[in-house]
């Protein structure tokens, strides 16, 4: 855990003012750059020391066996692990024959800055070699948003006090040696030499490597070229090996002179194209990058991000630390999905190997809401990818004896990769989460073409799964048994409320969409009888409720389970899954992450305000937040039930998850869902934004230490700006012309917003609330009111 503020508070930068080798792996994740297609960790330019090297291509993976002590029918046989591909970051420097290495000599200053508006990582170093030669090194790197296949680096070095002979070795390296994985099951499996060399081409200023994976049979190519500026005499040569290329620049500089090298790199991969085709693809990308040059790439990057921040920025007045963190979160959310282009968004994006690079339900449930209302095209691309895996999901359903589509709990390509049934395949709610993302996207954009081409079939096949997975009892109630909800500490249960309510919404949404597109629905085999069965099941879904306690049961019988002994659970025992047997967790009232509370956010239309207040108080006292997915959702319900100070606390935890390494695993990559969740905590929590049944509504209220909140949403082609202070809120349209209008609810009151004149409305007095909910002993979030 980063116990001190490693990064000074700054609204638009993440700045590291000194190098702490003990936190190197964490900073490599924080400083990772990506565009959704290519990801590079924030490793030092010279490659050593490192915490965890990493260069990734979205969906480029290798197969590995999934070992079982006892195999069972329906268990997946192969896992998929994201491959650390050819590394183009390496640029080693020798100063008068001595390697530039921060572990030796005198490191006089070292600063790295992630610029959230420029989309670059800059490093500035002053170092004195063991023999006394001082140098200044400045490097800048970017992964281009506008040229999807391109990564670019600037390397500048100058001697400070004497003439120096400088040798810069810039490399492409495949099959890097990786550190040994820990025993934590969340950490990615380490693959030994996953890439097989197919071709190596070298030229004077660069070259190209082509490799192929052994089992998954995927081909990739990486190429590099160098633009060198040096005063006087200098030499540039390149040499190669099947697994590496090295371009060497040699020169001799006087103090005040500077060597400047621009390194352009390009990546591409395919499961189908030939070696020449992939080779030519990266060659073309390199030519395009060379055409724009370093300055052109920088300018295009800045213009892309200027547009992004113009309609996606969230402004927080009064808590500068959260302001910095939420922008950091939005930046990493953008990086994860901007140019994924019909590829998945992994739980770590492309910032590290955690969870083997897999995508889970959190993509649709946490990341896509932020993208849907800010970058809807990126959200649509992820859903198109899900649709492309529909045949695999239907095959999986057949294997399980079910109808429709059973989407995998964790995957890269679309096949199920979870080797643990209770916290894997049993999490059937992922199908309803995908359906919810489809519903949300269509509602927010009005994109009927997407609904016809992709959305309807996803809704139909997931609805079929629920109809075959559930059953009507003799009283007509519809039950879904033997499933696991979001809370993985309560597994394989009956009638999980979150699952049931999400399935209900899925069934209704499928029936409604089929009615809107009857011809296409008939093409998918939907008839009137099937439509009626979906509506009947949805109307009869059983929702467990404990009348004695006056709360909903997270699942049938949950409130009669034995209570967990929080008072005698030591702080070092968290996360519980690493220190207690699942058997003990499954039979106690201990909640890993928001589950019923999650249901009250996404399906808030199914609960009364009084039920939400009682439920939130009951489950907050039993939720340990061993998942990074929990705090942001607890922030939303804390705000809705009137506990805005607690909402602020949970918001801080979600936003600072990686900058403070709160779960002590940031080394394996950032928590993209929690970072996107900080947007949810602000917009849906303090802003009170909801989208139920196609109607946009807001109920903003601020905690005492936040003075103002501003955010924008895209809604059916209109850009809505919401500005909140303590007493009032202003709604305004920023596009659409004089005839544009947007109808919304403000604290339950119908309001029409036009571009002609903003609407300014008072925030009504908050209704009375009971005592603030309590948390398990030692698990309360850090109080923001005392931490500013």
**Domain locations in the chain?**
31-65+78-285
Quickly state the pLDDT bin for 770 (edges 50, 70, 90): confident
The confidence score (pLDDT) of residue 72 equals: 87
The confidence score (pLDDT) of residue 769 equals: 86
Query: Which 3 state secondary structure label does DSSP give 120?
Result: strand
Whether 568 has a pLDDT exceeding 60, the answer reads: yes
Residue pair 698/722 in contact by the 8 Å Cβ criterion: yes
Residue pair 313/327 in contact by the 8 Å Cβ criterion: yes
Quickly state the pLDDT bin for 667 (edges 50, 70, 90): very high
Nearest in space to 569 (alpha carbons), one of 624, 616, 621 = 624
| Percentage, residues of the chain above pLDDT 90 | 92
The DSSP annotation for 79-128 comes to EEEE----B---EEEEETTEE--TTSSEEEEEEEEEETTTTEEEEEEEEE
Whether 184 has a pLDDT exceeding 60, the answer reads: no
CA distances from 408 to 356, 383, 394, 419 (A): 14, 14, 11, 11
Mean pLDDT over residues 522-537, rounded? 98
Q: What are the E-state strand segments in 415-566?
A: 471-472, 478-479, 545-546, 551-552, 562-563
Quickly state the pLDDT bin for 1 (edges 50, 70, 90): very low
d(CA 393, CA 374): 29
Whether 77 has a pLDDT exceeding 70, the answer reads: yes
Residue pair 9/320 in contact by the 8 Å Cβ criterion: yes
pLDDT in tens, 693-731: 999 999 999 999 999 999 999 999 999 999 999 999 999
The confidence score (pLDDT) of residue 240 equals: 96
DSSP state of 774: P
The confidence score (pLDDT) of residue 64 equals: 87
Whether 185 has a pLDDT exceeding 80, the answer reads: no
Quickly state the pLDDT bin for 191 (edges 50, 70, 90): confident
The confidence score (pLDDT) of residue 500 equals: 98
Query: Which 3 state secondary structure label does DSSP give 439?
Result: helix
Handedness of CA 779, 331, 438, 269 (dihedral sign): negative
Q: What positions carry a catalytic annotation?
A: 488
Question: Residue 490: phi, psi to the nearest 5?
Answer: -135, 90
The answer to whether the predicted template modeling score (pTM) of the entire model surpasses 0.95 is: yes
Nearest in space to 409 (alpha carbons), one of 344, 360, 459, 353 = 360
| Percentage, residues of the chain above pLDDT 70 | 97
Residue pair 100/165 in contact by the 8 Å Cβ criterion: no
Q: How many CB atoms lie within 10 A of CB 703?
A: 21
Query: Which 3 state secondary structure label does DSSP give 372?
Result: helix
Mean pLDDT over residues 350-367, rounded? 97
**CATH placement of domain 31-65+78-285:** 2.70.98.40
* Measured torsion, CA atoms of residues 21, 22, 23, 29, in degrees rounded to the nearest 10: 80
Mean pLDDT over residues 424-439, rounded? 97
Mean pLDDT over residues 581-605, rounded? 97
d(CA 410, CA 392): 13
Q: Lowest mean pLDDT: which of 69-73, 350-354, 595-599?
A: 69-73
The confidence score (pLDDT) of residue 235 equals: 97
Question: Residue 573: phi, psi to the nearest 5?
Answer: -80, -5
Nearest in space to 723 (alpha carbons), one of 395, 444, 314, 410 = 314
Instruction: Calculate the CA 576 to chain-centre distance.
Output: 24
Quickly state the pLDDT bin for 186 (edges 50, 70, 90): very low
The confidence score (pLDDT) of residue 4 equals: 54
Whether 190 has a pLDDT exceeding 70, the answer reads: no
Quickly state the pLDDT bin for 68 (edges 50, 70, 90): confident
The confidence score (pLDDT) of residue 189 equals: 55
Mean pLDDT over residues 187-196, rounded? 72
Q: Lowest mean pLDDT: which of 101-105, 460-464, 769-773?
A: 769-773
Cis peptide before 575 (omega within 30 of 0): yes
d(CA 607, CA 696): 18
The confidence score (pLDDT) of residue 187 equals: 43
Residue pair 591/617 in contact by the 8 Å Cβ criterion: no
To the nearest whole number, what is the mean pLDDT of the chain? 95
Nearest in space to 459 (alpha carbons), one of 477, 482, 436 = 436
The confidence score (pLDDT) of residue 66 equals: 85
């Amino acid at each position: 855990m980063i116990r001190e503020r490693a990064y000074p508070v700054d609204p638009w930068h993440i700045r590291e003012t000194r190098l702490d080798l003990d936190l190197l792996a964490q900073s490599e994740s924080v400083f990772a750059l990506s565009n959704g297609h290519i990801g590079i960790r924030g490793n030092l330019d010279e490659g050593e020391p490192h915490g965890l090297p990493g260069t990734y291509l979205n969906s480029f993976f290798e197969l590995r066996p999934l070992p079982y002590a006892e195999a069972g029918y329906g268990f997946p046989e192969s896992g998929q692990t994201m491959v650390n591909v050819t590394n183009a970051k390496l640029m080693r420097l020798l100063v008068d024959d001595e390697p530039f290495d921060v572990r030796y000599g005198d490191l006089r200053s070292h600063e790295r800055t992630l610029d959230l508006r420029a989309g670059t990582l800059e490093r500035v170093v002053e170092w004195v070699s063991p023999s006394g030669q001082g140098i200044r090194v400045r490097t800048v790197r970017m992964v281009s948003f506008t040229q999807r296949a391109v990564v670019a680096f600037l390397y500048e070095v100058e001697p400070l006090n004497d003439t120096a002979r400088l040798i810069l070795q810039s490399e492409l390296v495949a099959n890097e040696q990786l550190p040994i994985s820990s025993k934590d099951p969340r950490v990615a499996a380490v693959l030994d030499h996953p890439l097989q060399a197919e071709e190596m081409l070298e030229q004077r200023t660069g070259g190209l490597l082509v490799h192929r994976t052994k089992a998954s049979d995927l081909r990739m190519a990486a190429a590099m070229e160098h633009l060198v500026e040096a005063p006087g005499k200098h030499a540039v040569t390149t040499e190669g090996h099947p697994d590496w290329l090295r371009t060497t620049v040699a020169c001799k500089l006087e103090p005040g002179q500077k060597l400047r090298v621009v390194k352009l790199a390009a990546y591409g991969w395919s499961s189908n194209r030939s070696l020449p085709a992939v080779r030519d693809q990266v060659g073309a990308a390199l030519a395009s990058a060379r055409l724009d040059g370093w300055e052109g790439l920088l300018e295009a990057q800045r213009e892309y991000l200027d547009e992004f921040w113009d309609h996606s920025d969230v402004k927080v007045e009064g808590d500068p630390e959260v302001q910095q963190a939420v922008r950091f979160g939005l930046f990493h959310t953008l990086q994860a999905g901007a140019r994924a282009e019909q590829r998945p968004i992994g739980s770590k994006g492309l910032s590290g190997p955690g969870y083997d690079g897999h995508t889970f339900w959190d993509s649709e449930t946490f990341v896509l809401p932020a993208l849907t209302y800010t970058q809807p095209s990126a959200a649509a691309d992820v859903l198109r990818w899900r649709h492309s895996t529909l045949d695999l999901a239907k095959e999986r359903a057949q294997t399980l004896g079910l109808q429709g589509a059973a989407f995998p709990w964790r995957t890269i390509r679309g096949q199920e990769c979870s080797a643990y049934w209770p916290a894997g395949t049993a999490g059937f709610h992922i199908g309803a989460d995908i359906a919810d993302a489809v519903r949300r996207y269509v509602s927010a954009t009005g994109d009927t073409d997407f609904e016809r081409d992709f959305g309807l079939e996803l809704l139909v096949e997931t609805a079929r799964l629920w109809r075959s997975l559930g059953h009507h009892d003799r009283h007509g109630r519809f039950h879904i048994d033997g499933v696991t909800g979001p809370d993985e500490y309560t597994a394989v249960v009956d009638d999980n409320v979150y699952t049931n309510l999400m399935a209900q919404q899925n069934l209704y949404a499928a029936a409604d969409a089929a009615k809107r597109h009857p011809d296409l629905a008939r093409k998918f085999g939907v008839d009137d009888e099937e439509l009626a069965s979906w509506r009947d099941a949805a109307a009869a879904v059983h929702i467990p409720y404990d009348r004695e306690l006056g709360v909903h049961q997270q699942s049938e019988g949950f409130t009669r389970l034995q209570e967990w002994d929080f008072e005698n659970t030591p702080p070092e025992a968290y996360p519980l899954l690493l220190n207690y047997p699942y058997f003990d967790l499954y039979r106690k009232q201990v909640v890993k992450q928001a589950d019923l509370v999650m249901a009250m956010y996404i399906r808030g239309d199914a609960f009364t305000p009084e039920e939400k207040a009682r439920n939130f108080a009951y489950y907050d006292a039993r939720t340990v937040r061993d998942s990074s997915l929990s705090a942001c959702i607890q922030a939303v319900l804390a705000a809705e039930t009137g506990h805005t100070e607690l909402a602020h606390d949970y918001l801080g935890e979600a936003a600072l998850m990686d900058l403070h390494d709160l779960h002590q695993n940031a080394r394996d990559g950032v928590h993209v869902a929690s970072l996107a969740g900080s947007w949810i905590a602000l917009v849906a929590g303090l802003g009170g934004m909801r989208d139920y049944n196609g109607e946009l509504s807001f109920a903003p209220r601020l905690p005492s230490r936040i003075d103002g909140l501003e955010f924008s949403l895209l809604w059916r082609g209109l850009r809505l700006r919401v500005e909140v202070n303590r007493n009032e809120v202003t709604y305004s349209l920023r596009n659409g012309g004089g005839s544009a209008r947007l109808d919304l609810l403000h604290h339950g009151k119908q309001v029409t917003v036009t571009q002609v004149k903003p609407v300014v409305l008072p925030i009504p007095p908050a209704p009375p609330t009971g005592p603030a909910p309590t948390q398990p002993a030692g698990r309360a979030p850090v109080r923001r009111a005392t931490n500013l």
